[in-house]
Every structure is written in structure tokens, then in C-alpha cells.
């Protein structure tokens, strides 16, 4: 059989080579194809000669879905021609019928290819900047490519080839293909461009260079959390000299830097916000620790920098730090060579304020320094201009309504240096309303069931000073505080679980929102209490004596059976085999027996049995009455007999 096996199992390029080697082994069929095989672009023209060395044949021709010929006699060449090859599965065959009537044929191997309409790159399930060390999947979408087995997808970062992917799937028709690449970018990859390229490697017969379509580049941004660059965390300086603290850090996005002074109790921190990576302090006099906080969207890190001040041995240590080291006090030295001691302070009076929203406030900032260039207040409201030749500046606001205000008193020293102190302000607001309700329930409660009470507090600030108190009558049941910090007013809901008993019927629950603003805050604490919530507690009937009762009854005596039970709602009663419907039942006299009563309400029912027994017969009194009356009758008979005997005479017959 002289048929070339056009294998449907191409396995990439080496299989293509095998296929081409196999194409030469067909000596038995006297047909030769020229060219022996073709790689054709979809829609291109094609022309193949089939020639024979045999001179005595009955005819030859091409059999194909397009471009087939009729059986031609007396020729040695037939040509298969298609102007526009668009049949993906075409398998043209050249055949010859020999003089003895035998036919042999040879299939012409043709590979039809098509470059993709579009190649695009994207990040799967992600948009925006990437984070260092996280895995992402890049996807390369290749539209309408054929044949799949000749496709090589190449991944590039810049010009560096990262990976190439081939497909073992065999497909003659065009397909959509998606290739993926896992990446875990590092900070150095920030700004890198990824590309993917679809290449058709169609073997030596195919076009050179390989037909290629490359995606648009994908620019990636790689973010990473801040990191400190190496730097000293302890700086030694001599007293009165200047010091520069280094807190250089890197990160993407570029981190924000914040210095906080952590030397004193910590509340009145001086804060410098900005991108400065060094903190210059002039004329250091006291040992101090500075915190430098570096933050970007991925994290925050803190470094402590200690400033150690050497005291020269010839100077007495008490010459320095004469001012108390409270956060409101700052000490500085003039820059003269001879250490002349000048102590000054900035003092706030009052040192911190608690103000009701909309109230007025006034704080004095005073200094003991007499030679300064001016002082003033910096604030969103009530700020002052720089005032010279004064020792006191006052910050006043008539209607304080800025929830986040941070007024700062500053002083400009003669050498141009500025010192400042921030006034801690707590602005508070009592709630607009405080209301109590039962969650997911209305109407009476049932004993032993759990209910959730909710306290809704509207528009309160600050949250961290709120105490929610729960009361039953005047008894404090629970108090709740909040760790959430919020300067602006918020709505808050507190809940309390209760499981009421029958004794709680009619009790009143209340919740109270209290603002505990510390010793500087108003006393007593501003408080808003909810309306009371009265609860009704239902419970099933119960007997004070639940056990069955046995009662004796004398003939003709009347007895009352007491089936009274307690319960809420008030129980109703039912007596077995009777229409009677009250708690107290008088059975018909002389009818001993068993009486069962049931007390019931909406919550439950309970039954009790009364057994009424007649008093036993053979009573002593009756006995003696019977004996006595028997004796009397006998005496009467004897007397009557004696009288009759006497009247009739001794011989008369009775």
C-alpha cells in the first residue's frame, strides 16, 4: 500500500520530522509529489504536481474536496491547484490506475495554519498593584489559532524568556487557547513589563521566521511593606549639641513617616508628620527616646531611637534638667559656648479640656521665657496670630464643633527654633435618644425562655468613654464599655440576655448611656436613660400541694374539693366527667369516687386527683342504739304478755 499515513497524532516538532522521514518510503507506488508536502497559510493558493514514471497506465488524477481533477489518460503529470485553501481537513490524494487495473494512491500532506486574531495578557482574579511575595497568575489569551500542536507560547519579562509552553492537543481547526504563568513578584520587579507571544513552529517546511503575534505589555506595580534602612538606634551626643536622628526607610508605596516623642507619660506627644527621614533636634539636654513610625498601605513599623546625653565630668549634673520633665515642659539651652542655663516652659491652663459639642472653651498658654520672637495658637478654629512681647496667649472658641480639633500652642525662640505643645481636647455629645426594646419578640414573655434586650443609643461621642448600664428596677445588672475609639458621634447598640422568672412579672428594665470622661469631665457623668420596658412573664399552672388527696365523707355530709392553682394567665379548670369549670367543686353527696381536675392556661396544664371515700359502717353508737332498742322491745313484750295472762286467768288459752 503506497499511502502516506498522515498521522493524526503529531507530537510537536520531532513527530513532524518522523512524519517527513516516513514520507520517503513509498517506492512501491510509481507516483511522485512535487513538492512532497506543504505548509500553507489559511486562504493561500496551492499547486502540487503529481507525476509518474509509469508509461502504461489507464489514467491518473487528484481526488480532493477542492481542486480535484478528472481521470486523465496519456499524461504523466496531473496538478492539484486551489486558489484559496480554506478546508481545514483537506486530504488531497493523487491516484493512478495501472494497466492491470490496480490502483494505488498517495495522500498529499498539507498543513494549514492560521496566526491568531488576537493575543492578550492579563492578571487572573486581580487588579491593581501586586504585593511582594504573593502569587499571581498571568493569563495569555490567544484567539483563533491553528494548528494547536505547532503553537509555542513564550512568556517574557522585559526581554528575558521566562517560559515556553507547547500543546500536545492535536487540532487542525482554529481554537482559542489560554496559557497561564504563575509569578511571585519581588520589589525589583516593580515596573516590569510582562508579554506573551504566540509562535507557530511549523518545521523546516514552514515559514521562517516563525509567524508570531505578541501581546501588549502588561506593566506591573509591586508594593511592599516598609523596611528600615540600616541606621543607628542609639545616638550619643554631648549636652547642648545638635543631634540628627536617622529613620530612613523604604517601601512601596513610599511610606509616610511620623515621629512621636515617647519620653514622658506619653499623652502630650509632639508629632511631626511628613516624609522627612531624619529628625534634627538642637541643643539636646536630656536623655530621651524617640519613636519613628513608618507606614504605608501594607503595614507599619516602629523604631526606637535613644538619645544619650553625655554630661561632661567638670559640669555638675544638676545644672541641667532643672525643669520638671512633665510632658508640658520643655528645656533648652542657648547655643553659647559657655553653658549659661536658661529654663523656660510652655504651660497650658487647663492642661487638657473636656468640652460638650457646641460649648465654648478657653485655654491659656503661658511661658516663663521673656526673650522669644513670638508665640501663638495654631488650630482649625480659634487660632491666633503670632504675638510678640506677651507671656500668655489664649485659645478661645465659642461654639466648638470640630470633632478632630488639635490646637497647638507654639513659641518661636530667638534662634528661629519653634517649640510647640498640643492641647488634648475631648469633645463629647450626649445621645439624641436611648431606647430599649426586645429583639425579635413582642408580647408577654414565657418563664425560662431567653430574650435579648437591645439598647439603641443614637449619636454619641466619644465611644471610648461610653458606659452602657442595664437596670432591672434599681438593680444594676450589667455595664458595658467599648474599646472602639471614635472621636465622631456614632450609633451604638448594646444587648443583654435575660431569662425571666415568674417573680420578674411586671418588672421594669432600663438602659442608661453614661459618659465617663475622667476627672476633667463633668460630674456627675452626663447620662441619658431609656424609657422603662415593663415585662409580663407567663408561666404554667402549679399547685401548692401537687399530690393526690384522699378525703373521707360521712353520709349526708358535703365536701368541697379545692383545685386552685397559680399561673399566668390565670388558670382555667376542667373537672373530669362533669361540666363544672371552677377551682372549687362540691361533688353530689353520697357519691363517693375519684375526681380529677385539670388546671390550664396558654402555657401549660396540670392535673390532680381527689379520692372521696364514705365513712366506714359498724359505728359504735348505732350498735348501742340497736342493742338498746332490742332490749326495750323485749321488756315491752314481756310486760304485755304478763298483763294479758293476768287478765285471762290462769286457765285461759292464749
Ligand X SMILES: *[C@@H]1O[C@H](CO)[C@@H](O)[C@H](O)[C@H]1NC(C)=O
Binding residues for ligand X, per CB under 6 A? 34, 43, 47, 49, 77, 79, 84, 86, 161, 163-164, 167, 169, 175, 177, 219, 231-232, 236, 244, 259, 261, 263-264, 270, 278, 280, 286-288, 308-309, 311, 320, 325, 330, 358, 399, 401, 476, 478-479, 544, 562, 564, 584
**Hey, which residues does 347 pair with through a beta bridge?**
366
Task: Tell the smallest beta-carbon distance from residue 635 to ligand X (Å).
Answer: 51
- Write down the least CB distance from residue 298 to ligand X, Å: 21
Could you tell me the smallest distance in angstroms from the CB atom of residue 291 to ligand X?
A: 10
Which one, 131 or 264, has the nearer CB to ligand X? 264
* Beta carbon of residue 574, minimum distance to ligand X (angstroms, whole number): 17
Are the C-beta atoms of 446 and 537 separated by less than 8 Å?
yes
Closer to ligand X by Cβ: residue 93 or 277: 277
Residue 641 CB, nearest distance to ligand X (Å)? 59
* Residue found under cell 507516483: 31
Nearer CB in complex with ligand X: 95/259? 259
- Report the nearest approach of ligand X to the CB of residue 536 (Å): 23
> Residue with CB nearest ligand X?
270
CA distance linking residue 365 with residue 378, whole number of Å: 12
Whole-number Å distance between alpha carbons of 26 and 4: 8
Residue that is written with C-alpha cell 437596670 in the block: 471
d(CA 367, CA 390): 9
Nearest to ligand X of 444, 609 (CB atom): 609
Residue (276 or 637) nearer to ligand X, CB: 276
Comparing CB distances to ligand X, the nearer of 320 and 377 is: 320
Phi, psi angle pair for 263, to nearest 5°: -75, -50
CB of 261 to ligand X, least distance (A): 3
Q: What's the CA gap between 42 and 541, in Å, rounded?
A: 93
Q: Quick check: 355 and 425 in contact, CB under 8 A?
A: yes
Residue 24, Cβ neighbours under 10 Å: how many? 9
CB 636 to ligand X: min, Å:
50
46 versus 445: smaller Cβ distance to ligand X: 46
Question: CA 327, CA 299: separation in Å to the nearest integer?
Answer: 29
Which of these, 426, 433, 377, lies nearest to 400 by C-alpha position?
426
The Cα–Cα gap between 185 and 182 comes to: 10
Please count the helices (runs of H) and the strands (runs of E) in the chain. 2, 51
Minimum CB distance to ligand X smaller for 311 or for 438: 311
3-state secondary structure of 284: coil
Beta strands at 466-472 and 508-515: parallel, antiparallel or unpaired: antiparallel
Q: How far apart are CA 88 and CA 65, in angstroms?
A: 11
Least separation in angstroms between residue 219's CB and ligand X is: 4
Q: Of 86 and 501, which has the nearer Cβ to ligand X?
A: 86
Tell me which residue has cell 506677651: 390
**CA 132 distance to own-chain centroid:** 23
Q: Backbone phi, then psi, for 72, in 5-degree steps?
A: -115, 135
Contact 94, 62 (CB under 8 A): yes
CB of 81 to ligand X, least distance (A): 10
CA pair distance 428, 517, nearest whole angstrom: 8
Q: Would you say 444 or 458 has its CB closer to ligand X?
A: 458
Q: Of the two residues 319 and 444, which places its CB atom closer to ligand X in the complex?
A: 319
Minimum distance, C-beta of residue 309 to ligand X, in the bound complex (Å)? 4
Q: Which three cell numbers stand for residue 138?
A: 498571568
Distance between CA atoms of residues 427 and 25, nearest Å = 97
Q: Which residue has the cell 445621645?
A: 431
DSSP assignment, residue 220? -
Amino acid at each position: 500500500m503506497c499511502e502516506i499515513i498522515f498521522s493524526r497524532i503529531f507530537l510537536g516538532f520531532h513527530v513532524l520530522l518522523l512524519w517527513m522521514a516516513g514520507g520517503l518510503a513509498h517506492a512501491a507506488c510509481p507516483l511522485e509529489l512535487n513538492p512532497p508536502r506543504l505548509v500553507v497559510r489559511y486562504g493561500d493558493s496551492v499547486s502540487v504536481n503529481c507525476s509518474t514514471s509509469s508509461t502504461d497506465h489507464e489514467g491518473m488524477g487528484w481526488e480532493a474536496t477542492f481542486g480535484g481533477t478528472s481521470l486523465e489518460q496519456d499524461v504523466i503529470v496531473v496538478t492539484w491547484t486551489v486558489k484559496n485553501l480554506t478546508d481545514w481537513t483537506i486530504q488531497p490524494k493523487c491516484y493512478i490506475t495501472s494497466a492491470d487495473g490496480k490502483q494505488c494512491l498517495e495522500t498529499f500532506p498539507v498543513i494549514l495554519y492560521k496566526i491568531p486574531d488576537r493575543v492578550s495578557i492579563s492578571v487572573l482574579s486581580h487588579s491593581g498593584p501586586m504585593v511582594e511575595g504573593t502569587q499571581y497568575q498571568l493569563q495569555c489569551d490567544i484567539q483563533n489559532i491553528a494548528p494547536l500542536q505547532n503553537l509555542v507560547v513564550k512568556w517574557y519579562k522585559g526581554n528575558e524568556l521566562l517560559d515556553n509552553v507547547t500543546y500536545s492537543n492535536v487540532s487542525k481547526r482554529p481554537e482559542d487557547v489560554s496559557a497561564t504563568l504563575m509569578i511571585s513578584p519581588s520589589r525589583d520587579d516593580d515596573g516590569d513589563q510582562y508579554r506573551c507571544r504566540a509562535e507557530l513552529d511549523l518545521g523546516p517546511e514552514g515559514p521562517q521566521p516563525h509567524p508570531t503575534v505578541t501581546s501588549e505589555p502588561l506593566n506591573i506595580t509591586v508594593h511592599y511593606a516598609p523596611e528600615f534602612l540600616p541606621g543607628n538606634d542609639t545616638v550619643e551626643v554631648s549636652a547642648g549639641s545638635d543631634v540628627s536622628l536617622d529613620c530612613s526607610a523604604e517601601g512601596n508605596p513610599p511610606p509616610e513617616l511620623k515621629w512621636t516623642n515617647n519620653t514622658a507619660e506619653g499623652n502630650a506627644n509632639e508629632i511631626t508628620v511628613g516624609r522627612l527621614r531624619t529628625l534634627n533636634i538642637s541643643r539636646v539636654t536630656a536623655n530621651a527616646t524617640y519613636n519613628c513610625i513608618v507606614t504605608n498601605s501594607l503595614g507599619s513599623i516602629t523604631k526606637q531611637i535613644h538619645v544619650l546625653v553625655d554630661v561632661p565630668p567638670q559640669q555638675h549634673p544638676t545644672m541641667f534638667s532643672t525643669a520638671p520633665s512633665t510632658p508640658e515642659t520643655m528645656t533648652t539651652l542657648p547655643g553659647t559656648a559657655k553653658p549659661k542655663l536658661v529654663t523656660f516652659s510652655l504651660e497650658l491652663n487647663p492642661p487638657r479640656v473636656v468640652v460638650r459639642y457646641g460649648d465654648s472653651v478657653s485655654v491659656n498658654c503661658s511661658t516663663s521665657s521673656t526673650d522669644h520672637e513670638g508665640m501663638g495658637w495654631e488650630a482649625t478654629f480659634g487660632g491666633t496670630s503670632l504675638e510678640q512681647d506677651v507671656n500668655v496667649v489664649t485659645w478661645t472658641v465659642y461654639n466648638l464643633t470640630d470633632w478632630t480639633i488639635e490646637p497647638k500652642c507654639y513659641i518661636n525662640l530667638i534662634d528661629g527654633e519653634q517649640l510647640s505643645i498640643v492641647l488634648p481636647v475631648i469633645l463629647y455629645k450626649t445621645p439624641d435618644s436611648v431606647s430599649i426594646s426586645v429583639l425579635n419578640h413582642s408580647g408577654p414573655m414565657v418563664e425560662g425562655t431567653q430574650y435579648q434586650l437591645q439598647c439603641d443609643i443614637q449619636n454619641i461621642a466619644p465611644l471610648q468613654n461610653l458606659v452602657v448600664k442595664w437596670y432591672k428596677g434599681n438593680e444594676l445588672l450589667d455595664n458595658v464599655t467599648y474599646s472602639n475609639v471614635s472621636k465622631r458621634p456614632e450609633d451604638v447598640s448594646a444587648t443583654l440576655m435575660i431569662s425571666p422568672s415568674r417573680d420578674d412579672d411586671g418588672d421594669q428594665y432600663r438602659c442608661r448611656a453614661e459618659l465617663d470622661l475622667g476627672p476633667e469631665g463633668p460630674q456627675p457623668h452626663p447620662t441619658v436613660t431609656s424609657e422603662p420596658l415593663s415585662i409580663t412573664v407567663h408561666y404554667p399552672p402549679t399547685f401548692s400541694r401537687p399530690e393526690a388527696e384522699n378525703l373521707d365523707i360521712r353520709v349526708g355530709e358535703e365536701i368541697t374539693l379545692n383545685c386552685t392553682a397559680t399561673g399566668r394567665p390565670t388558670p382555667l379548670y376542667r373537672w373530669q366527667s362533669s361540666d363544672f369549670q371552677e377551682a372549687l367543686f362540691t361533688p353530689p353527696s353520697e357519691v363517693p369516687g375519684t375526681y380529677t381536675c385539670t388546671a390550664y392556661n396558654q402555657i401549660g396544664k396540670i392535673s390532680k386527683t381527689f379520692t372521696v371515700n364514705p365513712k366506714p359502717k359498724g359505728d359504735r353508737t348505732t350498735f348501742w342504739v340497736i342493742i338498746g332498742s332490742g332490749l326495750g322491745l323485749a321488756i315491752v313484750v314481756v310486760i304485755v304478755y304478763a298483763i294479758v295472762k293476768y287478765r285471762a286467768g290462769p286457765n285461759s288459752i292464749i
